[in-house]
Amino acid sequence: MTAPFETTPTGSTPPGSTPPGSTPPGSTAAESKAAGSIPTVTPPTRTTAIGTARTGVTPGTASRRTPSGALALMTAPFTTAPFRHTEPPPPGCATGRTAEVYRQLAEDFGVEGAPTFVVLSSSPGLLAATWALMRESLLAGDGSRTGKELAALGVSRANRCSFCVDAHTVLLHATGDHALAERLARGRAPQKEVQARMLAWGEATRTPGSPDLTPLPFFVRHTAAYVGTALSFHFINRIVSALLTENLLPGNAQRFRPVRSLAGRSVAKTLRRRPVPGTSIALLDGDAGPGPSWAAGTPVGPAYAALRTAAAAGAGLLTEADRGLVRDTVAAWDGTHQPLVWDALPGRGDRPGARLAMLAALAPYRITDEDVAAWKKPPYTDDCLVRLIAYGAFAAVDRIERALPLGGT
């Protein structure tokens, strides 16, 4: 018998006693990754996919150590970035709410100008809500950061988002769990049963009715943080797969263990400092309501409700018939990955908008230049494309959320 996940990073104060849990589900293997010695790297004159890492920065200051060697891969200046299909403005040009999101991102996440958020910047309401849900669940929410990283990694595996799988492997290094991070990078299961249960739960959230969804591998009082983290990355995975390239670092350098470890250490100080909950809520549009009952009484609730509202605005880019097609197809989805061609997927020539939204929901990694070009014609802009992809992505999130067995929550 094992307890719900409640471990702490290396060097942290251990939690109190934990109640017994239930029998563990089977664990799953990560994608196999190559390992070896780090090559000589010339710092690129571009943003890395992960953004600019803050190294030992005191909140509110701009000082940081001069990067060298592999860390330069994490700290290259922003000139161009790994965006597909859109060209968002550099973070340094941001003003107002968007600039405040970037400020919080640097201070609370330890990474400046992360393309996972920059790609949403043409829609400030969508950007703010996406940041708020991730911040209030993964960063500021209750429970172990290692546990939530494992859940997010499991989600990313299930969605075949190699960018996010690599990012969470790096962030496990940042928690101090280096051995765990490397076991996963090499395609091996966690040694600890409680960690294997958390990883399997995250992966199972994609599939309604999966036996690995119960019992919950965390305390009920931490439901908002863990479920919010999982749903946040079901959305972010789809945005990343649709609108970013797949390499976390230039040259796929995260394949090398020294790079993974050093990249994680560069944000370790920030990661081990839990932010004050609720700070991001002031960035949200209006009052989207308290959110779902599983997040009642926490900032995760209004953040989730705000993201639902912001993503739903993309529905206006489709006809009523196209919205109905997307809605009905996603509602019938069983969590499996679609074949290259499936009957419900519209063609580019007749319903390109519905095709994009459906792909964003069920197979975002299959969106091609041709798919985008078939729809993105005047008057449609980068902002329109981002909103349409977000609409499809959240349609899948909503389907997943409704199917989660949360004991009446």
384 labelled catalytic: no
3-class SS of residue 397? helix
Residue pair 128/206 in contact (Cβ under 8 Å)? The answer is: no
CA distance 294 to 300: 9
3-class SS of residue 195? helix
Residues 322-349: b if buried by 16+ CB within 10 A, e if exposed: bbebbbebbeebebeebeeeeeebbebe
Structure tokens at 331: 């509602």
- Give the number of other CB atoms < 10 A from CB of residue 96: 8
CA distance 38 to 264: 15
Residue pair 243/389 in contact (Cβ under 8 Å)? The answer is: yes
First vs last C-alpha separation in the chain: 25
Residue pair 244/83 in contact (Cβ under 8 Å)? The answer is: yes
CA distances from 155 to 63, 173, 191, 209, 270 (A): 35, 18, 19, 15, 23
CA 12 to chain centre: 25
CA distance 361 to 249: 26
CA distance 23 to 321: 46
CA distances from 299 to 109, 244, 313, 387 (A): 17, 28, 22, 24
CA distance 226 to 138: 7
- Among the listed residues 93, 161, 164, 384, the single catalytic one is 164
Q: Provide long-range contacts, Cβ within 8 A and 24+ apart, for 196-199.
A: 196/24, 196/25, 196/26, 196/27, 197/2, 197/5, 197/21, 197/24, 197/25, 197/27, 198/5, 198/147, 198/150, 198/151, 198/154, 199/27, 199/28, 199/150, 199/151, 199/153, 199/154
Catalytic residue numbers, as ranges = 164
